[in-house]
A and B are shown apart, each in its own frame.
Chain A
Amino acid sequence: RKEVEQDPGPFNVPEGATVAFNCTYSNSASQSFFWYRQDCRKEPKLLMSVYSSGNEDGRFTAQLNRASQYISLLIRDSKLSDSATYLCVVNKVNDMRFGAGTRLTVKP
């Protein structure tokens, strides 16, 4: 079983749609959680951290369920510029594990 599992997609959605990504992790000792965004042939860039209480940043909402070892990302009112691969990242100290990523394409 992979340490971090994501639905690879691809998700093809129209502009303005709401889309949700899920991620599960296997190591219950994981301490921190992130969503990164990676554009084609570029390095990953931090989108947002994920907290148990849930957190929101504009159109993006992240949730963490430690009991189920499950992380989610919700994108509302999707834009063309949201097209990218979204990486779920789970971290212990000096040990960051990446999911394979979920590819999103937002179409006009």
Chain B
Amino acid sequence: GAVVSQHPSWVICKSGTSVKIECRSLDFQATTMFWYRQFPKQSLMLMATSNEGSKATYEQGVEKDKFLINHASLTLSTLTVTSAHPEDSSFYICSAKIRDHHTLEQYFGPGTRLTVT
């Protein structure tokens, strides 16, 4: 149980285009989903916390107009990287917490590797 999927698993796009990444909880409802970014040999950095039906909360330094997050249902959150640039190339990972569950554990998706040329 507690499986999180991401799509696509990898994407290459040209500079200036937008890319949408989907994060789905497959066998549970997730009130809260998280988006992380990881550059090579660095730790995961939280970008934003996404609650179903409300606006995402962004971490300091993360541009909300560039990284659009939509959490329209209890099983799906999307991250759109708008006007992508080479410096946005990174490994983007989502995670989800089980709705109404007391554990603080988060379940991670397999990640999406974005390369902007």
B-contacting residues of A (Cβ < 8 Å)?
Answer: 4, 31-32, 34, 41-46, 49, 87, 91, 93-101
Q: Are A98 and B93 in contact (CB under 8 A)?
A: no
Which chain B residues have a beta carbon within 8 Å of chain A's beta carbons?
A: 32, 34, 36, 41-46, 49, 91, 93, 95, 97, 104-106, 108-111, 113
State the majority secondary structure of interface residues on B: strand
Could you count the A-B residue pairs with CB atoms below 8 Å apart for me: how many are there? 44
Contact assessment for B104 and A43 in the assembled complex, using a CB-CB cutoff below 8 Å: no
> Is chain A's binding surface mostly helix, strand, loop or mixed?
strand
- B19 CB, nearest partner CB in chain A, Å: 18
Measured CA separation A94–B54 after assembly (Å): 15
Q: Which of A34, A41, A96 has most chain B Cβ within 10 Å?
A: A96
21 contacts between A and B (CB under 8 A): A4-B43, A31-B104, A32-B104, A41-B91, A41-B111, A42-B110, A42-B111, A43-B93, A43-B110, A44-B108, A46-B105, A49-B105, A87-B43, A93-B104, A94-B32, A94-B97, A96-B46, A98-B44, A99-B43, A100-B42, A101-B43
